[in-house]
């Protein structure tokens, strides 16, 4: 998978290319990153690409021509010409969207800085505007990195087999269950005995029940949409 990112700060993406499972996946050739700097398309020698907003107000706006130059270079290299713009005004990113994006052969991500980008870029290109949540950060790079990490986890070979199946956590619309490891006692707390029993059927039931209880307690929005099976209803109603 080729991921092209339009950004003023290419170095930030070493967090993905050089570390952890995404880093290993890059080393194994499962994905490739290519950054394009809009400054390379500035009309001035100093590479300024920001200007004051028409109509006044605080801050600066990224100018359309250097952004368009960067987009044109990116789309010239791939068949899929769609561009994803990370912005607080976008459609909320979901588990389902990360799966959809993971199936593409290539992606183009556009990262805004300053107060954002001249709107005419969005009006004259094939742009999907996506938000990672209802909060603001200083640039589109961290949201783009969140998106890349989340979608790479769905691609074959990025996670080990055991993990990829286990990723069902959000797949089934429930929060994950609690996890325990050695030592068996910590801060006066023992590990729940069922986890040491070796009874895999009972362990699976305990974990499912914990997921149900947590989701009901912490995420009423997910709980509302969750359809309980008869067996899950029984799990919740036992003492
Ligand atoms: C586009 C427009 C995405 C991108 C404005 C980006 C949060 C998200 C940005 C801005 C982002 C998200 C720049 C506006 C800083 C505020 C970059 N913040 N901002 N929720 N910031 O996905 O000032």
Backbone angles phi, psi at 238, to 5 degrees: -70, 150
3-state secondary structure 79-130: CCCCEEEEEEEEEECCHHHHHHHHCCCEEEEEECCCCCECCHHHHHCCEEEE
Give the pLDDT confidence of 69-96 residue by residue, as tens digits: 999 999 999 999 999 999 999 999 999 9
The structural domains of the chain, ordered by start, are 2-152 (3.40.1280.10), 169-237 (1.10.1270.20)
Mean pLDDT of the chain: 96
Count CA atoms within 13 Å of residue 65 on its CB side. 10
C-beta of residue 199 within 8 angstroms of C-beta of residue 205: no
How far apart are alpha carbons 34 and 68 in whole angstroms?
17
Residue 49: pLDDT above 60? yes
Q: What value does the mean pLDDT take over residues 210-224?
A: 98
Q: What value does the mean pLDDT take over residues 164-180?
A: 82
Q: What value does the mean pLDDT take over residues 54-76?
A: 98
Task: Look at the pTM and tell me if it is higher than 0.95.
Answer: yes
133 lines ligand 1 (CB under 6 A): yes
How far apart are alpha carbons 118 and 62 in whole angstroms?
6
Residue nearest to atom 15 of ligand 1 (CA): 138
Residue 98: pLDDT above 70? yes
How far apart are alpha carbons 147 and 109 in whole angstroms?
10
Q: Give distance in angstroms: CA of 205 to centre of ligand 1.
A: 42
Q: How confident is the model at residue 221 (pLDDT cuts 50, 70, 90)?
A: very high
* Whole-number pLDDT of residue 195: 98
How far apart are alpha carbons 72 and 16 in whole angstroms?
25
Q: How confident is the model at residue 171 (pLDDT cuts 50, 70, 90)?
A: confident
Residue 62: pLDDT above 60? yes
140 lines ligand 1 (CB under 6 A): yes
Catalytic positions: 88, 115, 153, 168
131 lines ligand 1 (CB under 6 A): yes
38 lines ligand 1 (CB under 6 A): no
% of residues, the chain, pLDDT over 90: 94
Backbone angles phi, psi at 43, to 5 degrees: -90, 0
* Whole-number pLDDT of residue 164: 67
* Whole-number pLDDT of residue 162: 58
Q: Residue 85's beta-bridge partner residues?
A: 110, 129
* Whole-number pLDDT of residue 167: 59
């Amino acid at each position: 998978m080729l991921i092209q990112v339009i950004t003023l700060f290419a170095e930030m993406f070493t967090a993905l290319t050089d570390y952890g499972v995404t880093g290993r996946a890059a080393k194994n050739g499962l994905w490739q990153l290519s950054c394009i700097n809009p400054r390379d398309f500035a009309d001035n020698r100093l590479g300024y690409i920001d200007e004051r907003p028409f109509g006044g107000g605080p801050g600066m706006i990224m100018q359309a021509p250097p952004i368009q130059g960067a987009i044109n270079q990116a789309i010239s290299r791939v068949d899929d010409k769609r561009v994803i713009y990370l912005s607080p005004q976008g459609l909320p990113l979901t588990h389902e969207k990360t799966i959809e994006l993971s199936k593409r052969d290539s992606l183009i991500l556009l990262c805004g800085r300053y107060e954002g980008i001249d709107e005419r870029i969005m009006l004259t290109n094939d742009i999907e505007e996506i938000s990672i949540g209802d909060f603001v950060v200083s640039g589109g790079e961290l949201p783009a990195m969140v998106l890349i990490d989340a979608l790479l986890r769905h691609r074959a070979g990025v996670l080990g087999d055991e993990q990829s199946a286990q990723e069902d956590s959000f797949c089934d619309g429930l929060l994950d269950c609690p996890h325990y490891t050695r030592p068996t006692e910590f801060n006066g707390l023992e590990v729940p005995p069922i986890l040491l029993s070796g009874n895999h059927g009972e362990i699976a039931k305990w974990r499912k029940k914990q997921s149900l209880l947590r989701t009901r307690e912490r995420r009423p929005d997910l709980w509302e949409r969750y359809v309980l099976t008869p067996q899950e209803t029984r799990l919740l109603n036992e003492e």
